Amino acid sequence: MLKKPDLDCFFQPQSIAVIGVPSKIPKKNWPGIYGCLLAYGYPGRLYPINPKAKEIAGNKAYPDLSSLPEPVDLVILSIPAEAVPAALRECARTGNRNVHIFTAGFKETGEPAGIRLQNDIQKIADDNNLQVIGPNCMGLYVPKSRIATWVKPPDAIGRVAFLSQSGGHAQDFTNYGARLGLGFSKVVSYGNALTLDAGDFLRYLAEDPDTDIIAMYLEGVADGRRLLEIVREVNQFKPVVILKAGLTESGTRAVASHTGSMAGQTHIWDAFFKQSGAIPAQSLQEMANTVLALQHIVSVQGPGVAVLGVGGGVGVEAADACSRAELSLPDLPESTQHKLRQFVAPAGNMIKNPVDAFVVLLDLRLLAKTLDIISSETCFDMIIISLHLDWIYDIDEGLHIQELANFLATSARRELKGKPFAVCWRTTRLVPEIKEQGLLFEETLLKANVPVYRELAQTANALSSILKYHLLKKQLRN
């Protein structure tokens, strides 16, 4: 693999200058990049640049880069598009090599003026060996360095990185992640990818000791062959999950209009996934769900799933969801069904697989016994536990829901003898107390590193993604 690119200045900058800071930071509405950095508590040396201001938010303002006491690790441009070429030249002249261009209005407009401007800045950047994130992008979110160029990102530091060609998606994905207890190491919204593209960030993240899992939102890429090679290599030791947008006729045109990218054709990207081993995702939520499973489940050995839960219709839904995700639900062997029949009556219960037996969920000893029996079967590679909280709530107004959470967060692992499992819960009744109990239940499981979902299709897809990842990785290694 190529040498790790020199991007430390972006992710751990000791000093940042922001060009184009308003004299007064708006209290409402968007506070601007400088305001975001202040609000998130960036601890380094932060220089606002505005030739018309002496002081901004109580800090000394500077008229330009050359008046700064030092060349900075990172310059952020938040100025009109027409002013960007001159600002980039000033960066080059003053020895400021690392630039994030927040400004939009370039190639993505599809209009002659914007395309010409992008060609201009491309030349300036190339001639002067500048490293540029953007233009037309939100930029950076690195909780460990307390850097965020958008409003109110989550505080949690974690081991997931996210590369995104959409700033909105960078915000949404990190928020979805936070709900699932995922924290982030480094997040980059890089828009039109003038000099730094997905591949460069990937090579950096490959050797980043703070990153274990890499998620990407891709609209297009200039050099697909190069990206394929990088992903294939990185994916062998850090799973790469990619949401590739624009793979439909309307999507392709929207991508051109958003980041001026060529989306590429479906069959090319199908081959990309097959040859790189990257995990495809169809939506941000699906990507977050997959990352959650990757974070908590080391490996899955095969496609056999046992589903344990309550509700006949829900059981059928689980079976269909698993089949659609290319997992299988082998019938419980007859001898095992006999064991379950000792404490599960035939009427109103299914015990073939799915095992739908309310009695088992009501008594933790029976649940432990059932998990032990099921997980002893070699035909099962993983277990899905599906809980309808509306029905469990009625027993004792939520006490048992929390007992189940504590059991699943602790002793369940022992009964399952280390077999991977995921939990899926639902409540549909319009009773706020049940939803609250559900959120508590979810929190307990997430804190115990148990992947927990709210839809069976999501659960099956996440488990299936892990299985496919391991199978394909093995195949590509050979």
Per-residue burial over 98-132, b = 16 or more CB atoms within 10 Å of its CB, e = otherwise: bbbbbbbbbbbbeeeebeebbeebbebbeeeebbb
Point out which span in 139-147, 165-173, 208-216, 267-275 binds a second copy (CB under 8 A).
Answer: 165-173
Question: Does position 449 bind a second copy by CB under 8 A?
Answer: no
What number of other Cβ atoms are within 10 A of residue 44's Cβ? 16
Q: Which is nearer to a second copy, 71 or 251 (CB)?
A: 251
Sequence-distant (≥ 6) Cβ neighbours of residue 89 within 8 angstroms = 124, 128
Q: Is 316 in the site for a second copy (CB under 8 A)?
A: yes
Q: Which x/- pattern over 266-285 shows residues binding a second copy (rule: CB under 8 A)?
A: -----------------x--
Residue 30 engages a second copy in binding (rule: CB under 8 A): yes
Nearer to a second copy, 26 or 41 (CB): 26
Binder to a second copy among 208, 233, 317, 442 (CB under 8 A)?
317
Count of residues binding a second copy (CB under 8 A)? 82
Contact 246, 254 (CB under 8 A): yes
When asked if residue 167 is in the footprint of a second copy (CB under 8 A), the reply is: yes
Instruction: Pull the structure tokens for residue 415.
Output: 């009964």
For residues 375 and 74, give the distance between their C-alpha atoms in angstroms, rounded to a whole number.
53
Kindly tell me which of 412 and 462 has the beta carbon lying closer to a second copy. Answer: 462
In contact, 48 and 21? CB cutoff 8 Å: yes
Work out whether 332 is an interface residue with a second copy (CB under 8 A): no
- 111 touching a second copy, by CB under 8 A: yes
Is 88 a binding residue for a second copy by CB under 8 A? The answer is no
User: In a 3-state reduction of DSSP, which class is residue 356?
Assistant: strand
Restricting to residues 42-61, name those near a second copy by CB under 8 A.
Answer: none
Beta strands (DSSP E) in 135-183 are: 139-142, 147-148, 157-164
Instruction: For residue 19, give the H/E element and its range.
Output: strand 15-19
**Position among 17, 213, 216, 247 found at the interface with a second copy (CB under 8 A):** 247
387, containing H or E segment: strand 382-388
User: Of the listed pieces 51-59, 64-72, 158-166, 435-443, which binds a second copy according to CB under 8 A?
Assistant: 158-166
User: What distance in Å separates the CA atoms of residue 385 and residue 371, rounded to the nearest whole number?
Assistant: 10
Compute the radius of gyration of the chain from its Cα atoms: 26
Q: Is 333 near a second copy (CB under 8 A)?
A: no
- Binders of a second copy in range 286-315 (CB under 8 A): 311-315
394 vs 139: CA distance, rounded Å: 48
Residue range at the interface with a second copy (CB under 8 A); choices 4-12, 67-75, 149-157, 206-214: 149-157
Burial-class residue 443 by CB neighbours within 10 Å (0-12, 13-18, 19+): middle
**Contacting a second copy within 186-215 (CB under 8 A):** none
Please state the closest distance from residue 217 (CB atom) to a second copy, in A: 7
Asked if residue 110 binds a second copy (CB under 8 A), the reply is: yes
Measured distance between the N- and C-terminal CA atoms of the chain, rounded to whole angstroms? 18
* Residue (9 or 178) nearer to a second copy, CB: 178
Question: What whole-number distance in Å separates Cα of residue 195 and Cα of residue 197?
Answer: 6
Q: How far is the CB of 86 from a second copy (least distance, A)?
A: 17
Of the candidate residues 58, 225, 237, 347, the single one contacting a second copy (CB under 8 A): 347
Which of 13, 32, 199, 246 lies at the binding interface for a second copy (CB under 8 A)? 246
Q: One symbol per residue from 400 to 419: x for binding a second copy (CB under 8 A), - otherwise; what is it?
A: --------------------
